[in-house]
Chains A and B, each alone.
Chain A
Amino acid sequence: MTYTPPFRLAHGGRLIDRAFQVPFRFDGRHLRGVQGDTLASAMLANGQIMLGRSFKYHRPRGPLASGAEEPNALFGLGQGGRFEPNQRATTTALVPGMVLSSQNCWPSLDADIGAVNNWLSPMFPAGFYYKTFMQPRPFWKHVFEPIIRRSAGLGRAPKDRDPDMYEQAYGFADVVVIGGGIAGLTAAREAAEHGERVIVLEQNPVWGGRSPVDHRDGEAAIDALLADLRGRGNVTLRRNCMATGLYDHGYLLAREALADHDPDQGIPRQRLWRIRAGRIVTATGALERPLSFACNDVPGVMLASAVRDFISDYGVAPGQKIVVVTNNDDAYRTALTASDAGLDVVAIIDARVDVSGELPQAARARNIPILLGTGIAKVKGSRHVEGVALCDQSGDGTVSGGLDCDIVAMSGGWSPVVHLWSHCGGKLLWDEGRAMFRPDPERPPLGADGRGNVLAVGAANGDLRCAGDLERPEGATMPVWVMPRNAPYKLRSKMWLDFQNDVKVSDVELAAREGYASVEHTKRYTTLGMATDQGKVSNINGLAVLSKALDQPIPATGTTTFRPPYTPLTLATIAADARGEAFQPLRKTAMHGWHEKHGASWEPVGHWRRPYSYPRAGEDRHDAVNREIMAVRGGVGTLDASTLGKIIVKGPDAGRLMDMLYTNMMSNLAIGKCRYGLMCSENGFLMDDGVVARLSEDTWLCHTTTGGADRIHGHMEDWLQCEWWDWQVYTADLTEQYAQIAVAGPRARDLLERLPGSIDLSAGAFPFMTWKEGDIAGIPARIYRISFSGELSYEIAVPASRGLELWEKLHEVGSDLDITPYGTEAMHVMRAEKGFIMIGDETDGTIIPQDLGLNWAISKKKADYIGKRAQARGHMTDRSRWQLVGLESLDGRVLPDGAYAVDEGRNSNGQRKTQGRVTSSYHSPTLSRPIAMGLVRHGPDRMGQVLEFPLPSGEVMKARICDPVFFDKEGSRLNG
């Protein structure tokens, strides 16, 4: 039997226009389709039925289905940034100039080296990897894994940036109907007649679902419904719109294809709809099931519905001599359609013995041979169907005859599409009479009010008649899970359940024998249903086989979990505009533009960008850090400190709240004074630090870390609203209202005194840890004499709108002082030289203030503060907790940040025990040597001892424990 033209029929094809030819390329060959084709119909029309290779055994595969359930016909599509793997040929519309490439084969689809796996298939049963690659253990990492990795994965990931546009939109409706077939459109009209706002989503480019193909008057009925709905203002119809997932409280996601694979249109390629629905109607139809007979995966074996879709919709003859094999009446429609199209229907093989419905009678009337009680023992042919061997369905596969054919149209019955119903908690029931799982109307998904908010209608609800011809009652379906019923192992090991992942009847039976009784475990062991089609055609057949192997009824086995998305979503659609600069908002201080102009090398801190340093010509960013530090230590520098959190706590009970929030006493802070404070969580761990200023009798200003402002404000509000709600306090986050500039260095006062102002900056009038209000350079300002650098330092807060003005004035009047802007890294190094801790360096969420030698900042007088009780727990008071010390590298090299100090002995994993780690480590330009801080067991009691830090290279660095304050221990500079 050979596959012979013509492949495109002379007539028919309701979706195509033969007048418009569409050129495309497949693996370098130039081919032509017509307008309206899908990739699958265009390929078939070119006589190309072998479209790909299966994943595991590399068996030749053709299209199985005609819609979203297709497991075989997947292509790489496009080129460069527009390349996409695993594009489903049956649902992708053909666009002129498309470039298709076959997948999972090398060097070519026809001559695929990997096909050797097919001959070796007896060696690759379910669980092959788990059983085979166990010993010897080192082989896994160096031999097995690299080989398996190379052959794993289906399709290539694109390498270039996606140049297309994507967008997202929000939708709201009283009723969202999913599925634009006869059932969905009818439900939409009903809701619309009640005045409800209705959105109808249809996955395909055309409306109607199966009705136009399966019902004589289907197209007219659909057209009438559409005309009605289009005339209503309260109805929105969206086609090319795939509802991919249903979530809590009526939330659903849908992907609308706007210009898929057609970038020249200049509009977004896809749109992701985020819809909130009052109620949802799933009219998602049903999917036809394959039959499990030997070699049911040979190209040319297709679902019966797909064969008639290709003929009716696209005017394509998948073959010339068709055998239909079925357990139901519906597949007779395929025989009638093929016969109408002038194709040779060789026979209808029906597993049932008693067939009397109207459709079989119509077939008989055309003298199509019908073989009852018969099954297929085996399909002949490897790259294409050449014929079938027949047998008694109730027997063991003994061949009773044969037929030549080039297409086998199979139907094992239909399964309602229950995915969306199941996504958000809807339960299923097994309908024994119709051999299907269908939505259980008693257990629907629930809305916020506890009532069902999803309704399944039509074929999605198990009513398979509705797309067809209601006047022609159909005979009952007979469940056929294996063909023939008593097939021996030789046949069962060639019956495919999951076509994409190559899972066969024998694999599921093996899993059952090996003790995989749960369907979820069997799925993962065999990979049944884990491919990109999520087992749309394989799941029910698979769990029926598992049930039989476990000797239990199908509902006792149950289904695997249905998870979104129904069909794959591209990541670009999920991201949409949220990429590049629009990925997240960028917070900018008032001086951001100045920093940019002066060559700042940026460091992201939260959503802010802060200058790391300001490299000059010929400097790298670390050279700049060293220069900036020396400039501050020797003269004066400015730091943009605007990003620090600034939270006002105000009210009659503000002092009381402050005492609970901070470990130290804040209520007794005098007006005009500042105090460094620590904030802990209720489990005792240090979460933030900063300087607090008492502004007035009932007002405190809390400085937080740059990254902590939002979090700390939320923390304050949490306690205020949920625990001490009777306290009269307000909090307000004023971080963005002020620009703040640290002016630091021995010449800081000289510099500021050059500006006119109302504030006496002298040491006597304005001592360390106080603040003053007034104006400077004509700008209202609050100045804090606080220091994170260890130098004489004033932090000047001005209204944000005037921050740049002050910054520029400072640099103008300080030019002869070599005033130097310094960045975050200079700040970090200078604070480390002073032994000041940094949240996130010395702390990691498991550190309490007592670990850091900060007992002086923990009030002994206060009865309570957040974290106090937790810090009294045994583990927190354990004397052997690692504590803060300084570390001096012995060989003059900088210790690696995060390096661990090893201890004697080994732990239970055979690793060296540890006794400390490096938390901050820098080169100090001030001291011309490396400095570091770390946490070490009993550290403060071990001054002078030497610790060993093994490096990943195997080398060991040594460091001596010392005081963490490396510079100006007596503090004469910051007090100056």
Chain B
Amino acid sequence: MLILTCPYCGVQAEETELHPGGEAHLKRVGPDGDDAEFEGYLFARKNPKGVHFERWRHAYGCGKWFLAARDTATLQVFGTYSAQTPHPPAEIVSAIQASRPDWQPDWT
């Protein structure tokens, strides 16, 4: 039973208050996308053992969606942050690297 801090209302929310939404930072592919791009967007999800970025909704709280950076194996939480960002912010990256020095962002 995870605990994640909602970055909007500040509540330390237990997993039962939250609704999971899968991988974060997906880039939507619309009608112009070709089949391969669209397949990647709709179906191909990362499933790493280790650092992962996820969508969560504070469903039984303030109702806001937020993002969490988390280690799927150790359950360490590196931080939660606004859903209105295309990439994890710098403070999340440094929180990850503080305990995973070899970890590098895969976005540019």
Which residues of A pack against B, CB within 8 Å? 247-249, 251, 276, 425, 446-450, 682-683, 714, 717-718, 721-723, 725, 863-864, 868-870, 872-873
Contacts and interface: CB of A to CB of B under 8 A. Distances in A.
Contacts, number: 69
Most A CB within 10 A of own CB, among B28, B35, B57, B83: B28
A721 B65 CA distance: 7
Given A249-B75, A717-B57, A722-B21, 7 more contacts: A248-B2, A425-B75, A714-B57, A723-B28, A864-B31, A869-B38, A870-B38
A717 B38 contact: no
Interface in B45-69: 55, 57, 59, 63-65
B76 A682 contact: no
Given A249-B1, A722-B55, A869-B38, A448 B75 contact: yes
Interface in B13-31: 14-15, 19, 21, 28-31
B104 interface: no
A863 B76 contact: no
B38 A718 contact: no
Contacts of A449: 76-77
Contact of A725 (B15, B30, B84): B84
Given A448-B76, A718-B65, A721-B65, A869 B29 contact: yes
Contacts of B3: 249, 276, 448
Which 9 residue pairs spanning A and B have beta carbons closest together? A450-B76, A251-B1, A725-B84, A721-B65, A448-B77, A249-B3, A722-B83, A869-B31, A446-B74
A292 to B, nearest CB: 37
B40 interface: no
B31 A868 contact: yes
Nearest to B74: A446
A870 B59 CA distance: 28
A870 B57 CA distance: 25
B9 interface: no
Contact of A425 (B21, B42, B64, B74): B74
Interface of B: 1-3, 14-15, 19, 21, 28-31, 33, 35, 38, 42, 55, 57, 59, 63-65, 71, 74-77, 83-84, 99
Contacts of B77: 448-449
A249 B65 contact: no
Nearest to B15: A248
Contact of B75 (A446, A721, A873): A446
Nearest to A682: B42
B42 A683 contact: yes
A863 B31 contact: yes
B30 A869 contact: yes
A868 B31 CA distance: 7
A872 B31 contact: yes
Contacts of A425: 74-75
A730 to B, nearest CB: 12
Contacts of B63: 717
A922 B71 CA distance: 53
Contacts of B76: 446-450
23 contacts: A247-B1, A248-B15, A248-B75, A249-B1, A249-B2, A249-B3, A251-B1, A251-B14, A425-B74, A446-B75, A446-B76, A448-B3, A449-B77, A450-B99, A714-B57, A718-B57, A722-B21, A722-B65, A864-B31, A869-B29, A869-B38, A870-B38, A872-B31
B64 A721 contact: yes
A870 B42 contact: yes
B42 A721 contact: no
